[in-house]
Amino acid sequence: MAGPLMVLDALEQDALTELVNIGVSRAAASLRKMVGRQVLLSVPAVELVSRKVATALIGERESDELIAVCQDFIGAISGRALLIFPLSNSMELVRAVLGEHDSGDVADMEHEALAEIGNVILNGCLATMANLLRESLNISLPQVRRGNGMHLFQIIGEPSDEGLVLFLYINFSLHDRDVRGYIAMLMDLASLESLKLLIGEFIARVMHDDPEANPGAFGPEPFGPGAFGNE
């Protein structure tokens, strides 16, 4: 990619990780209501990398074909969000959500179930982050795609080496099943610069103890050690 990679400082990285974790936690609560079972989602790592690096990262970890739920978002920041699983993991997730059905029935409902799961998680995560940043997003209907990282991270009409990826590792624990996956948000440099500015404004609100910034998210000392939950 031409030009330097946009870099977040340590405080911005911590704030972004906190925003993502709040979004994913609220998405997990919505998914729990949908399936009627305990759902735990965690985001142990958040990285901002080029599409080339994101493709390499997922290629190093996953030799299986990938399946992804994709949704475009437009607003102060714009791009494409993907919820990605190894194909073998996706069936485990569908069975965990649908319960124990005949394997043929589960296979028939796989795309529909994955689209709904992705819609709940991606919408919950994006909408929560946008709300905390005091912005709004228009989010498209979900689509299910298969392929490798290079295929999934390609946006028609854009060179594959342009744009950056906000790459999130996620762990699911649902109905005694553990499923690994990824959330990727593909954005161009302009959108990521806008995101950086919005994160800076969010940090300023928290440090000024604005009760509307995110009530109770950071406890009584929002700018003390570990304020953003990533010590």
CA 140, CA 182: separation in Å to the nearest integer? 19
CA 98, CA 109: separation in Å to the nearest integer? 9
pLDDT of residue 9: 86
Burial-class residue 81 by CB neighbours within 10 Å (0-12, 13-18, 19+). Answer: buried
% of the chain exceeding 70 in pLDDT? 75
Query: Any idea which fold 10-207 has?
Result: Chemotaxis protein chec (3.40.1550)
Please check whether residue 77 is in contact with residue 194, taking contact to mean a CB–CB distance below 8 angstroms. Answer: yes
H or E segment and range at residue 61 = helix 51-61
pTM score: 0.79
CA 231, CA 226: separation in Å to the nearest integer? 5
Q: CA-CA-CA-CA torsion for 26, 27, 30, 31, nearest 10 degrees? A: -140
pLDDT of residue 117: 85
With bands split at pLDDT 50, 70 and 90, how would you rate the model's confidence at 217?
A: very low
Structure token digits, residue 5: 């990679």
CA 8, CA 225: separation in Å to the nearest integer? 19
Please check whether residue 14 is in contact with residue 228, taking contact to mean a CB–CB distance below 8 angstroms. Answer: yes
> What are 35-69's pLDDT values in tens digits?
777 777 777 678 888 888 888 888 888 877 888 99
- In the chain, helix, strand, coil percent, each to 5? 45, 25, 30
> What are 181-195's pLDDT values in tens digits?
888 898 888 888 999
> What are 59-96's pLDDT values in tens digits?
888 877 888 999 999 999 999 999 988 877 777 777 76
